[in-house]
Structure 1
């Protein structure tokens, strides 16, 4: 994997669950145990819902594009750990969040 940072800001590209068109968004991500995680406060965001409906995603970072497969994180302890990694020393690290885990397949470009 070419992503070395524990916290970084890539573009997550999902496939629209209604339109089928690419949906791109800048997000704060966490790399943990060779997986990439994205989280948010509630499950109502388009990128979150899109990734659940269509798990094939892309991550664009440092002039590279990676393909991967997303799954919802259901382990509450892992969600807590991800929040601590994403927001170290911040109050919001203690907030309940939903997350997706992305297993990278390959570098596309």
Structure 2
């Protein structure tokens, strides 16, 4: 299980970044209307919640021209969420690893 989590802590963040590239390319091809950024908001939902309710901001939370403002929001948000995914799987690996070593010690004593 620890080995699976070791692999997952790299695979899941890499897949998240790959998905972000797809979302961004779709955003660039869409018309800049009110719904063009819906997938950006859905993909970075934890940051949207923080920005909307805690900071009482208006999406995309940064001033500037349309595409630049969304880029300044989206890519740092993706980086932060990717790092969070890595640390979640790293913590899970650390939680599971001591349990696996304890089982190995018990098996060696018996």
Q: Give the TM-score normalised by the residue count of structure 2.
A: 0.21
Q: Give the TM-score normalised by the residue count of structure 1.
A: 0.21
Q: Work out which structure has the larger RCO, using CA pairs closer than 8 Å and 6 or more positions apart in sequence.
A: 2
| Pair member with larger Rg | 2
Structure holding more helix per residue? 2
